[in-house]
Structure 1
Amino acid sequence: KALKASIDCQRVAVAVLGLEVPHAHIHLVPIKTEKDMIFTNPKKQFSPEQMQAIAEKIRQAL
């Protein structure tokens, strides 16, 4: 809920990824459409300051 409240998105997708090492990474990805989950799409680039601002918005929404 905090992620959706903090970022302009329609949904929050969940991706669980694990490879040969016995652990998994759980990714919460804000998306507008299902096509946003295609990992070969160009990546959005953010400055460290932008990342800090996004992180603070999410913290405030928790």
Structure 2
Amino acid sequence: MPSIFTKIINGDIPCYKIAEDEDNFAFLDINPNAKGHTLCVPKKEVDRIMDLDEDAYMKLMSFSRKVGQAIEKSVPCERVGMTVIGLEVPHVHVHLIPLHSMKNATFQHKEKLTAIEFEEVAEQIRDAIK
């Protein structure tokens, strides 16, 4: 059965898409730690990051760096944190989180955004990638 992220990549579930390339896909986390919290996932469904082959791993990290740099340009924050935990969804995903303080990195503090706010921040990040 495909993961929720595979369903998002395939367009079966809507998302606030940020970017994609041949191998990877980025979209806003709908339960964000901070405004602009983005997930970068490989299009190929793999459960654990250490199970990615070297090429796929390096492509995901390079893609995540590009997206993270766009977040830094477009979302006011001290820096963008990166974490890979992978317990909730069995599909590799990199969290890129705009950090204002350590509470943004704990996954215990969540922000509520409206659909309009999600779309605005997604557009700002997309524009910064260009």
TM over 0.5: yes
Unaligned runs of 5+ in 1: none
Displacement of 1:25: 1.2
The percent of aligned pairs where both chains have the same amino acid is 35
In the TM superposition, residue 34 of structure 1 has moved relative to its aligned partner by: 2.5
The runs of at least 4 aligned residues of structure 1 exceeding 4 Å deviation read: none
CA distance in 1, matches of 2:103, 2:120: 26
Identify the match of residue 108 of structure 2 among 40, 44, 57. Answer: 40
Q: How does 1:20-35 map to 2 (within 5 A)?
A: 21=90, 23-35=91-103
Higher RCO (CA-CA < 8 Å; seq separation 6+): 1
Q: Distance in 1 between matches of 2:92 and 2:126?
A: 23
Q: Which consecutive unaligned segments of at least 5 residues does structure 2 have?
A: 1-68
Separation (CA, whole Å) in 1 of partners of 2:123 and 2:97: 17
Normalised by the size of structure 1, how large is the TM-score?
0.83
Q: What residue is the counterpart of 2:16 in the other structure?
A: none
Partner deviation per Cα, 1:13-61 (whole Å, 9 max, x = no partner): 001122384x4211100001223211112x1111111100000000110
- SS of equivalent to 1:17: coil
Letter in 1 for 2:117: Q
- The DSSP-based 3-state class of the residue aligned with 1:24 is coil
Q: How much is the aligned-residue C-alpha RMSD, in angstroms?
A: 1.6
